[in-house]
Amino acid sequence: MKKLLIVVLLAIVVLAGCQESSTQRPLIGITSIYQVNKDNDLYSLTSVPFSYVCAITESGGTPIILPTVDNDTMIAQYIDAIDGLLLIGGYDIPPAAYGQQPHETVAVMPNQRFDFESRLIPAWLKTGKPTLGICLGMQFTNVASGGTLIQDIPTYIAGHDTHRGKNVHHKVDIVKGCKLAEILGSDKAFVYSNHHQAVDKLGNDLTVTAHSGDGVIEALERTDGPFGLFVQWHPELMADIKHRDAIYSALVQACK
């Protein structure tokens, strides 16, 4: 009788564990902004706009902020621990990273962030785990994949749309049949935009899936993995919650 009771209890414990694991929220790593304190590095800050955190949590994921560490072992631990990766916006990539001299409008990110994401992104892409890149996240992925950037849209694109400023929105045309069109249920979108750079030469294993009216590349998707979506706009800051939730939920669901 005791043996039977033990077996029943063990079965309950195993079943409870299975139920817990089946409903567990995926861990989504979020890259961070490094703010340098020139007087004392101990007072430098790692931060993430809370809109990204809200977008992940409200889409069913658990956000994990990834500080900019200078240690390959720690980066490998990040990659092992998380189910998906959100690459957020920020300052510009050093143009030397894609073989160019800087334009006068370039505002380069701190070395700490550049060095960290330059190591994180290629290693992460090799895993095939789900990735969502926003604004700089799309640009950084393109550069890490061997591509280049237009350093300043107003300088290099005649007749350009307005892509940067307070409350700037514009239309984008999405390639029919692509993952983004499937996620949004449309081949058009009206998006919140805040960037002065854009993808130029396309990186390896990426395909273009959206443009703005002036020809600027607005979205990329990976061609060598189950889920890799990169958009130039900011869904997490849009008043259109359905649009935001569609994109961020797609990341979370891909992690399940």
Active site residues: 135, 234, 236
Name the nearest CA neighbour of 92 among 174, 148, 15: 148
Instruction: Using alpha carbons, select from 209, 211, 94 the residue that is nearest to residue 160.
Output: 211
How distant is the alpha carbon of residue 41 from its chain centre?
Answer: 27
| Residue 216 parent element (H or E) | none
Give CA–CA dist 206/220, Å, rounded. 6
What does the block give as tokens for 217?
């590349």
Dihedral of the alpha carbons of 59, 245, 91, 82, in degrees to the nearest 10: 30
Q: Element (H or E) spanning 207, and its range?
A: strand 206-212
